Structure 1
Amino acid sequence: MLLTAKEHIEWYENDTLQQALWLSASDHAAPARIVIVDDKTTADDAYRLACAGTSMLYRGDFYNARQLLQAITRRIERTEKNSTKRKSKKAANQSTKDAEGAIESASKHLPNLFHQQRQTTAQRSRILSRLLLELDADYVSSLRRAPDISAACLAAFGPLDKQIDKKDESCVLSFRDLQGALGAAGWREKGVPIKELGLSIYPHYGVFAPTRHEYVQLLLDAPLPTVHDIAYDIGTGTGLLAIVLAQRGISQIIATDLTPQALKCASENFERQGLSSIQLQQADLFPLEVPPANLIVCNPPWLPAKPTSTLEYAVYDANSAMLRGVLQGAKQHLSDQGEVWLILSDLAEHLQLRSREELLGWIADAGLTVKYRLDTQPKHGRSQNEADPLYVARSSEITSLWCLQSI
């Protein structure tokens, strides 16, 4: 269940006070001001209302509502682009004339650029989430030409009747959250191809899709420990790492995750691959009441920053809490000759959010040492996009498999 706590919102429509349950999968606060908009509302007016903090409940045609959201998005992107140009011009005027000095200057400001980008993303999310949609208790929309969205909403948000007091009570959510549910339904149906394994992984709503999977080849290339009959996959998510281990012949695999939606997602992916022997356990990091592992694998969130939504927990980890927790607990869960395979990008180091010395210090403090490291370069588009404000960091990123063992 990904819905936030039960809360009601009110608005006036045709001089009558209306009420509905507020649902937010993005953890946005209930709207304080709501106006009714329809097919006659212009994109400029909608953008102005959204920027002013006013939420808009749409009445009219479903596809016109979708186009209105796209138009608001274009206006946000135009504003962001103009702002970036002004900042880039100012930075260029202040930087040194030589190329080396320019790169040094850009690197110096990367932490600020990262946090500014996070703020910009959060502001964009708030603005786009102000276009609202009303659904009945079965997740059915009364908008003209509305498609059947009930199955996608049910899969994403869970049964609405468990969230409401009245059987026929309606709910209101952002059109953007609905798009997320529909997009997740598409992923769940089509899957994410993992070419290194010759199969597809099927993410659920709220479980991070492995669209970047350059690390899979590292897991296939790493030499297994001499004894490798028992392995843990910590924070399994979609179950991808556990599937890699199963393909490599490890007979007993225990996969853990804290969220029920991730465990359900991993379970379905295991079933698709005929891997009924993989054990799933809801746990905060390490499994309970199981034998010590010969191999512990973990792909923790790569960036030490506070998540602002459910999906961001797979990318951002405040104070590197999960990474440090895995390192601190690994030794007591390892067999004598066991190994830890840690999948980690060094993007945080290039963004100056964490240093290599800090990482090595955490490893040593946990009673572990680096046996070897395998590296690969990401091939995703953002690492090659020179217009990205964080290009200096992204273009230098390396994803590694750190093999650790007890000292």
Structure 2
Amino acid sequence: MKVTTDASLLGAYADVQQAQRILDIGAGTGLLSLFVAQRSTAQIDAVELDSQAAEQARKNFANSPWSERLNLIEMDIRDYAMLGPQQHLQQHSDQNRPQYDCIITNPPFFTGSTQNPCDRSALARHNTHLPLSDLMKSIDQLLSADGVVWILLPLAESDAIIKLAESFSLYPQQRMLVRNSSQHPAHREIMR
């Protein structure tokens, strides 16, 4: 999976300096986790479903100067949100469920577009496997009461996620439009 400028912007822009526990949903090869590890002292859990991407993330984490704070969890975020407490009981014995004060995600976000013929690319780019409604439900289950979410989406999907988030009493506090140049219209949005 390639590094994108949009994801790099999210990793550089997200305010994570005060975070204690960060969750990276759909970590891919670990780019966002590495960005936030560099800019915080937080413990970081990165959840990734694709086994090849997860293996690359493990290598990237192990070779980073922050390896002791980076933890790769290879599973579907929906399963982690429901089963995480049992699987991580020893790490988090003081609480019922892992709670994060910061969640960062560049999720699979294309809705209703032509699927990529490569199954791995389609999984990473199209939200047929992880609909935005399931993503928001998982975020709601894992975010602490005073936590923040940083998310990168195309403009059409950002409107949809705002409506979904309202049902969980989550509302955008900050929105930044992303465009390729001053001559191009915005194509992505970073929200908190």
Q: What is the alpha-carbon distance in structure 2 between the residues aligned to residue 342 and residue 251 of structure 1?
A: 18
Q: Which residue of 1 aligns with 2:105?
A: 298
- SS at 1:224 equivalent: coil
Matches within 5 A, 1:58-73: none
Matches within 5 A, 1:356-395: 356=159, 358-378=160-180, 395=184
Contact 2:110 2:126 in 1 (8 A): yes
| Equivalent of residue 334 in structure 1, options 143, 149, 152 | 143
Q: What is the alpha-carbon distance in structure 1 between the residues aligned to residue 61 and residue 131 of structure 2?
A: 24
Deviation at 1:270, TM superposition (A): 1.4
Deviation at 1:225, TM superposition (A): 7.1
Q: Which residue of 2 aligns with 1:312?
A: 122
Deviation at 1:343, TM superposition (A): 1.2
Specify every segment of 5 or more residues in structure 2 that has no aligned partner in the other structure, as ranges. 89-97
Deviation at 1:232, TM superposition (A): 0.5
Deviation at 1:281, TM superposition (A): 0.8
> Alpha carbons of 1:375 and 1:234: their partners in 2 closer, same or farther (altered >3 Å)?
same
Q: Which residue of 2 aligns with 1:260?
A: 51
- SS at 2:173 equivalent: strand
Deviation at 1:355, TM superposition (A): 7.9
Which 4+ runs in 1 deviate beyond 6 A? none
- SS at 2:147 equivalent: strand
Quote the sequence identity (%): 25
Deviation at 1:398, TM superposition (A): 2.8
Specify every segment of 5 or more residues in structure 1 that has no aligned partner in the other structure, as ranges. 1-207, 385-394
Q: Which amino acid is the alignment partner of residue 20 of structure 2?
A: D
State the TM-score, normalizing by the size of structure 2.
0.78
Matches within 5 A, 1:8-157: none
Residue 324 (1) aligns with residue 126 (2): no
> Alpha carbons of 1:325 and 1:378: their partners in 2 closer, same or farther (altered >3 Å)?
farther
> Alpha carbons of 1:325 and 1:238: their partners in 2 closer, same or farther (altered >3 Å)?
same
Q: Which residue of 2 aligns with 1:396?
A: 185
Deviation at 1:359, TM superposition (A): 3.0
Deviation at 1:307, TM superposition (A): 4.7
> Alpha carbons of 1:378 and 1:322: their partners in 2 closer, same or farther (altered >3 Å)?
farther
| Equivalent of residue 223 in structure 1, options 9, 15, 31 | 15
Q: What is the alpha-carbon distance in structure 2 between the residues aligned to residue 340 and residue 326 of structure 1?
A: 12
Q: Which residue of 1 aligns with 2:72?
A: 280
What RMSD over aligned residues (CA atoms) do the two structures have, in Å?
Answer: 2.5
Q: What is the alpha-carbon distance in structure 1 between the residues aligned to residue 150 and residue 158 of structure 2?
A: 20
Q: Which residue of 2 aligns with 1:251?
A: 42
Q: Which amino acid is the alignment partner of residue 368 of structure 1?
A: L
Deviation at 1:275, TM superposition (A): 2.9
Q: What is the alpha-carbon distance in structure 1 between the residues aligned to residue 64 and residue 41 of structure 2?
A: 15
| Equivalent of residue 2 in structure 2, options 204, 209, 213 | 209
- SS at 2:172 equivalent: strand
Deviation at 1:373, TM superposition (A): 1.3
Contact 1:214 1:378 in 2 (8 A): no
Q: What is the alpha-carbon distance in structure 1 between the residues aligned to residue 139 and residue 59 of structure 2?
A: 28
> Alpha carbons of 1:316 and 1:267: their partners in 2 closer, same or farther (altered >3 Å)?
same
State the TM-score, normalizing by the size of structure 1.
0.39
Q: What is the alpha-carbon distance in structure 2 between the residues aligned to residue 329 and residue 313 of structure 1?
A: 18
Post-superposition CA distance 1:102-139 (Å, at most 9, x none): xxxxxxxxxxxxxxxxxxxxxxxxxxxxxxxxxxxxxx
Q: What is the alpha-carbon distance in structure 1 between the residues aligned to residue 17 and residue 134 of structure 2?
A: 23
Contact 1:293 1:333 in 2 (8 A): yes
Contact 1:231 1:250 in 2 (8 A): no
Deviation at 1:401, TM superposition (A): 1.6
Paired residues in the alignment total 173
Q: What is the alpha-carbon distance in structure 2 between the residues aligned to residue 234 and residue 355 of structure 1?
A: 17
Instruction: Point out the structure with max Rg over C-alpha.
Output: 1
Q: What is the alpha-carbon distance in structure 1 between the residues aligned to residue 24 and residue 14 of structure 2?
A: 16
Contact 2:33 2:44 in 1 (8 A): yes
> Alpha carbons of 1:251 and 1:223: their partners in 2 closer, same or farther (altered >3 Å)?
closer
> Alpha carbons of 1:276 and 1:359: their partners in 2 closer, same or farther (altered >3 Å)?
closer
Deviation at 1:308, TM superposition (A): 3.4
